[in-house]
């Protein structure tokens, strides 16, 4: 009888594992980058990042310390960056395929189109926006959404240049997105460790989700995904989610950036508040495609999440927020033919 119970338990675990392997997923935070976009190679990522970094000395020396840490990782299983643009693209595609995932892909439009052409079913195109870097006005951007095949506006990275979402220069983009029913993804919360020394124009205050209130007052039908959980502003974000039903949350980057238990505490706050149906999985793997699998492993070990909540976070919430066809996304995620 004891052996029979053991066999049954093993069978149940295998069935659960097989079922999980077949769950469709949408990674809402994928970047079409070049290998050296984070610095000269080789560079490695440890998981979690912060506990494997040295203690800073002065701000002026932090960029050099940070790069040395990425070149000489302190962990036993660092994740490398593929060495060529083609290898980085293919590794990202392979990671998505292995995890039954479709990616919302952001980056320079030409590169996004290149990646999309390489794996049409694996990507949904998103138009990146930094208003001091990207050469398209709100009116110019219309063409990308009208006939260029782009479905999302984001990642909006104005926090890195100290510009909040309520800045008057952003109002034409919000108006365009609302008019065309284009969902928006905006960076809010933390940047890389030591962002103030690495990116001197970065402002923590520009990532406060309360800055979205005047935007939503002017554009009540604008759908916004707040990326990185607006980490550091949990209370503010929970109040904004309670108040504005058009807001969703992308949890990308926090699971591997800081301590795992810290991430679980942050995530559980939103789940306990009742917002498991507004959270979306994003790895934010950048130039380290292996972070996709590592991020999902961390999610799978979040024992406070039910299987239904995990599937909402992995898939259902993104289908709802982005206005996607569930059956088509499941087919594409699982690699099935039409």
Confidence tier at 11 by pLDDT (50, 70, 90): very low
Q: Whole-number mean pLDDT of the chain?
A: 94
Q: Give Cβ neighbours of residue 273 (< 8 Å, ≥ 6 apart).
A: 238, 241, 242
Determine what percent of the chain is predicted with pLDDT higher than 90.
93
pLDDT given for residue 22 in this prediction: 83
Q: In this predicted model, which residue has the larger pLDDT, 338 or 78?
A: 78
Give residue-wise pLDDT tens across range 161-218.
999 999 999 999 999 999 999 999 999 999 999 999 999 999 999 999 999 999 999 9
pLDDT given for residue 16 in this prediction: 46
Is the predicted pLDDT of residue 15 greater than 50, yes or no? no
Q: Give Cβ neighbours of residue 111 (< 8 Å, ≥ 6 apart).
A: 32, 34
Nearest to 227 by CA among 134, 323, 104, 136: 104
Contact indicator for 87, 42 with CB cutoff of 8 Å: no
End-to-end CA distance of the chain: 47
Give residue-wise pLDDT tens across range 29-41.
999 999 999 999 9
Full-model pTM: 0.93
Nearest to 267 by CA among 250, 286, 245: 250
pLDDT given for residue 17 in this prediction: 47
- For every residue of 233-278, which 3-state class applies, written as one string? CHHHHHHHHHHCCCEEEECCCHHHHCCHHHHHHHHHHHHHHCCHHH
Helix (H) or strand (E) holding 280: strand 279-280
Nearest to 280 by CA among 257, 299, 260: 299
Length of the chain: 338
Give residue-wise pLDDT tens across range 116-150.
999 999 999 999 999 999 999 999 999 999 999 99
Instruction: Kindly list the structural domains of the chain, giving each domain's residue range(s) and its CATH number in brackets, ordered by start.
Output: 24-333 (3.20.20.140)
Pairwise CA distance, residues 151 & 171, whole Å? 19
């Amino acid at each position: 009888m004891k052996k029979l119970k053991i066999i049954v338990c093993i069978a149940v675990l295998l069935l659960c594992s097989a079922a999980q392997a077949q769950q469709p997923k949408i990674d809402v935070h994928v970047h079409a980058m070049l290998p050296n976009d984070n610095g000269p190679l080789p560079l490695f990522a440890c998981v979690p990042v912060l506990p494997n970094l040295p203690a800073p000395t002065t701000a002026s020396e932090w960029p050099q310390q940070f790069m040395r840490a990425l070149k000489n990782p302190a962990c036993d299983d660092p994740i490398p960056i593929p060495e060529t643009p083609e290898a980085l693209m293919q590794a990202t595609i392979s990671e998505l395929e292995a995890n039954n995932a479709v990616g919302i892909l952001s980056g320079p439009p030409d590169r996004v189109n290149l990646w999309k052409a390489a794996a049409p079913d694996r990507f949904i195109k998103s138009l990146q926006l930094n208003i001091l870097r990207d050469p398209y006005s709100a009116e110019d951007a219309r063409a990308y959404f009208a006939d260029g095949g782009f479905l999302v506006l984001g990642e909006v990275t104005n926090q890195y240049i100290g510009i909040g979402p309520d800045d008057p220069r952003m109002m034409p983009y919000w108006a365009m997105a609302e008019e065309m029913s284009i969902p928006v993804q905006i960076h809010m919360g933390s940047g890389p460790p030591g962002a103030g020394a690495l990116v001197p124009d970065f402002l923590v205050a520009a990532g406060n989700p309360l800055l979205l209130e005047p935007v939503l007052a002017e554009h009540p039908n604008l759908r916004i995904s707040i990326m990185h959980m607006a980490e550091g502003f949990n209370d503010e974000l929970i109040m904004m989610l309670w108040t504005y039903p058009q807001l969703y949350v992308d949890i990308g980057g926090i699971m591997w950036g800081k301590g795992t238990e810290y991430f679980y505490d942050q995530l559980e706050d939103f789940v306990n508040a009742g917002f498991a149906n507004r959270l979306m999985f994003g790895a934010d793997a950048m130039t380290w495609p292996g972070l996709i699998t590592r991020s999902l492993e961390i999610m799978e070990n979040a024992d406070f999440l039910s299987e239904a909540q995990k599937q909402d976070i992995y898939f259902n919430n993104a289908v709802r927020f982005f206005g996607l066809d569930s059956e088509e996304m499941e087919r594409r995620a699982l690699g099935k033919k039409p």
